Structure 1
Amino acid sequence: MNTAVKEQESAAATSESKLKAFVEQLTNGRVTSMQRLVRWRPAWNLEVDSNGHTLRLHLRGERGGDVSPFPDLRREADILTLLGQHGIPVPRIHGFCEDPPAIVMELVRGTRDLSAARSDEERRDLARQYVRAMAAMHQLPVEPFVAQGIDRPKGAEAISLAGLEAYYPLYERNKTRPQPLVEFALGWLRRNVPMHRTDARFVQYDSGQYLFENGQLNALYDFEFAMIGDPLADLASARMRDNYEPLGDSFCDLYAYYQEVTGERPDPDVVRFHTALFSTVSAMQFSSTVATPQPGDPHDTYTEFDIALRRVVVHALAEAMGVPLETPALDIATQGPNTALLMMLEDAVAQVKVSDEFQQSKLKSVSKLVEYLVKGDAMTLRLQALEQADAEALLGRTFGHYSEIDAALEDFVGSAGPEYDEPLLKLFMKQIERRVLVFGGTAIGGSASHIDLPPIEPR
């Protein structure tokens, strides 16, 4: 075991010891079980013996890295506390550990996996329970959240772009290379703000997340990105989530039900706008993690997010602009110049055996990256040649090297008029669709290959 791994394991053990001590002091009890969850973000489930009563808790740790527009974890704890006080079903907050930062909350029973529901009827009912809980949250007065320090946007532009303005400083601070697709999307969003949306509400902003058991919704969860903005932003992000965590019923039926519960008139174009906006800010959030990876990052997860979110950006903009989706033809090569060396690497990784479940997850991440690299070795030069040809045709100039293209495209995006919206979108569409053709069959690219935005209105 190398020194870096030993240091990481020692730091993890120290953190767990501190968390255990904090929970025991907080509850005046004794931790009898502490299980770290196998996921990319630090999280634990605990059982505590408190005066003969078993207390089940969940600890939510920091993401790590600079990938959050609201990095103060206490902010989420305070929001959850306030929501609970107003009757919204969320986990009860027991306390907050400062070192290492972690929210100590109730361990809510249940699952988010709707395949565990007993019938389609139960799934539809759960989806409606969720819509009612979301609608109730949207009806809350915003003043208590403002008093807690959450920004209250005023005016249609500020309300519609609240998510963009929250994420932009993070994107700008970490931007290390040109991002022509993101800059194109940002320009389109700023030019197409729905100016009639003037009612700011508290929104989860990463919605569609809830736990249920025995046909009953037990809690909404994950309020890390919550803010005050347009409530239709929550409908849009739930719509996006339906790709990989089904909502339980068709989105158009649930949107109609939301209108029934709230009395709000249908506004499908605004849902389309917020689908494009939420996918754009999500891509902004992770753009630098792939451009400039940092030690300790969950590299496979961030790469998966990056390719999937960029595809959603393109699909959402195409929908909002009325541009049909097109899949370019592409001959796929299966071997590249480093095939033999990569086979050795795959075999070497397969020979590594670890017994610890958490370290097994780390080894699986390495295997996913190697699989992705195999596809890249076979096809990256071909993809780059096609992208260079597309850029040269649109911009009317030639490039000496592929590395010059993104900067030139970003410059063009910044100065081009709306008449170039469709040609630019089609260029970005070809870029991402080709990459999904190459990488979509891998574990990392699987999410991108299943992007399919559900209809907003009945067909």
Structure 2
Amino acid sequence: MNMAVQDTTNTDQQQERKLCQFVEELLEGRVTNIERLPRWRPAWNVDLKRGDEIIKLHIRGERGGDVSPFPDLRREADILTLIRQQGIPAPRIYGFCEDPQAIVMQNVPGTRDLSQAKDNAERLSLAKQYIDAMAAMHKLPLDAFVARGIDLPHGAEAISLAGLEAYYPLYERNKTRPQPLLEFALNWLRRNVPQHRIKPSLVQYDSGQYLFENGKVSTLYDFEFAMIGDPLADLASARMRDNYEPLGGPFSELYRYYQEVSGEKPEPDVVRFHTALFSTVSAMQFSATVATPQPGDPHDTYIEFDIALRRVVVHAMAEAMGAEIAPPAINIVEHGPNAELLSMLTDAVNQVQIEDEFQQTKLNAVRKIVEYLGRADAMINQLQAVDMQEAGVLLGCSFAHHDEMEAALERFVATASTEHDLALLALFASQIERRVQVFGQTAIGRSASHIDLPAL
């Protein structure tokens, strides 16, 4: 076995031994099974025997890297505990492991896969049950959350921009290259805050995540990014999730249902604002991991997030600004100067045989990056040349390098008046739409090709 693989395996086994020991001491039982889930974030399902009882546990580990605005995993455990205590469906928290840091929680039965529901009527019922839980969460008193250290924003700007202000220090700290699209979006958002939204709520912020079993929602999950802010931010993030993880019914119908159960009046423009905001902060979150990748990062996942989220940013902003996005023309070339070497690399990767399911996921990640690299080898020079030509027309200058163009665009965005908004949006939309045309058929780029914001 390769030494790097051996070291990784040993580290994983050491973590699992520590987790098993912690769980056995915490719950005074014996672990009979521990299963590492084949996903990019560390997570395990555990069976613990205590007397005649089998306790089903889920262990949620740290995501790793500097990509979270709220890196303290205890924060999520506290929020889950509080919402469960107040009647919101959430997993029971048993304890918190310090080394390795992980939340030990109830393994709630159910699935998120709505294709497992028996019919469309059940899917719609599940979606409405989820909306019921969301609306109930938005009505929770905030004192207990503030007492646990959750920031309470005051005033329209602080409430509407709670997510932006939470993510911005992470973005600013890790920024290693110009980000003209994101700086443009940030400026637009700060200039277009809904000034009448002055009532804060607890929001999941990365919403739309629930499990169901036998036609009933069994739990909400993933409160890593929960905060206090505008409740319509949850509608916006659920709307985005509906692209790749359907909620169970037409979003417009679910939004109307939310209005019924919450008493909120229809405010589609505010939902559009928060769609633009959530996509922007999400792209900010992963911008540095692509610009400056770190060892151990789930690189394929971060590239996928980056291209998909940037496309959502331009589509959400176009919707909020009432603008149209026209697909740009591009001449697709299938092979680049390193095609033969990439063919060899693909073959070499395909010759690697791994039995362990978790290590297979890592090998599949390599395959996806190699495929993506092949498209980049064929097209990156053309993409960058067109980017520089279009930006040169807008800025009235020429560029020798793509990095020079990005820096010039960021400087322009910082001082540009609102009269340039539509031209800048069109420029950034052309850039990302060309990349989706090039990479959209790859495993990494496929999710970006299916961006479609549901109607309100």
Which TM-score applies when normalising by structure 1?
0.99
1:325 CA drift (Å) = 1.5
Q: Is 1:74 aligned to 2:74, yes or no?
A: yes
Aligned match of 2:91: 91
Aligned match of 1:221: 221
- The separation in 1 between residues aligned to 2:26 and 2:52, in whole angstroms, is 16
Aligned match of 1:318: 318
- Matched residue SS, 1:183: helix
Residues 76-95 of structure 1 show CA distances to partners (whole Å, capped at 9, x for unaligned) of: 00110011110100000011
Counting only pairs closer than 5 Å after superposition, residues 16-415 of structure 1 correspond to structure 2 as: 16-415=16-415
Aligned match of 2:5: 5
1:402 CA drift (Å) = 2.1
- Matched residue SS, 1:103: strand
1:381 CA drift (Å) = 0.4
Matched residue type, 1:182: L
- Matched residue SS, 1:176: coil
Residues 306-332 of structure 1 show CA distances to partners (whole Å, capped at 9, x for unaligned) of: 000000000000000011121001110
Aligned match of 1:453: 453
Matched residue type, 1:44: W
- The separation in 1 between residues aligned to 2:284 and 2:403, in whole angstroms, is 20
- The separation in 1 between residues aligned to 2:444 and 2:412, in whole angstroms, is 31
Aligned match of 1:433: 433
Matched residue type, 2:410: E
Residues 366-398 of structure 1 show CA distances to partners (whole Å, capped at 9, x for unaligned) of: 000000001011100000110000110000001
Bigger mean CA deviation after superposition, 1-10 or 179-188? 1-10
- Matched residue SS, 1:89: coil
- The separation in 2 between residues aligned to 1:71 and 1:51, in whole angstroms, is 36
- The separation in 2 between residues aligned to 1:303 and 1:339, in whole angstroms, is 21
1:6 CA drift (Å) = 2.4
Matched residue type, 2:426: K
Residues 167-224 of structure 1 show CA distances to partners (whole Å, capped at 9, x for unaligned) of: 0000000000000000000000000000000000000000000000110000000000
- The separation in 2 between residues aligned to 1:109 and 1:446, in whole angstroms, is 30
Matched residue type, 1:330: I
Residues 57-100 of structure 1 show CA distances to partners (whole Å, capped at 9, x for unaligned) of: 00000000000000000100011001111010000001110100
- The separation in 2 between residues aligned to 1:245 and 1:215, in whole angstroms, is 17
**Runs of 4+ residues over 4 Å off in structure 1:** none
- Matched residue SS, 2:60: strand
Which TM-score applies when normalising by structure 2?
0.99
- Matched residue SS, 1:380: helix
- The separation in 2 between residues aligned to 1:127 and 1:399, in whole angstroms, is 50
- The separation in 2 between residues aligned to 1:141 and 1:170, in whole angstroms, is 29
- The separation in 2 between residues aligned to 1:107 and 1:296, in whole angstroms, is 27
1:3 CA drift (Å) = 3.2
Matched residue type, 1:425: L
- Matched residue SS, 1:222: coil
Matched residue type, 1:340: E
- The separation in 2 between residues aligned to 1:111 and 1:71, in whole angstroms, is 27
1:5 CA drift (Å) = 2.7
- Matched residue SS, 1:452: coil
- The separation in 1 between residues aligned to 2:297 and 2:401, in whole angstroms, is 30
- Matched residue SS, 1:132: helix
Residues 113-151 of structure 1 show CA distances to partners (whole Å, capped at 9, x for unaligned) of: 111100000000000000000000000001110011000
Matched residue type, 1:24: E
Residues 252-306 of structure 1 show CA distances to partners (whole Å, capped at 9, x for unaligned) of: 1000000000111000000000000000000000000000000000000000000
5+ long unaligned stretches in structure 2: none
Aligned residues: 456
- The separation in 2 between residues aligned to 1:346 and 1:365, in whole angstroms, is 12
- The separation in 1 between residues aligned to 2:131 and 2:426, in whole angstroms, is 35
1:4 CA drift (Å) = 2.9
- The separation in 2 between residues aligned to 1:106 and 1:15, in whole angstroms, is 20
1:440 CA drift (Å) = 0.2
1:403 CA drift (Å) = 2.2
Report the aligned-residue RMSD: 0.6
5+ long unaligned stretches in structure 1: none
1:7 CA drift (Å) = 2.1
- The separation in 2 between residues aligned to 1:295 and 1:126, in whole angstroms, is 40
- The separation in 2 between residues aligned to 1:7 and 1:262, in whole angstroms, is 52
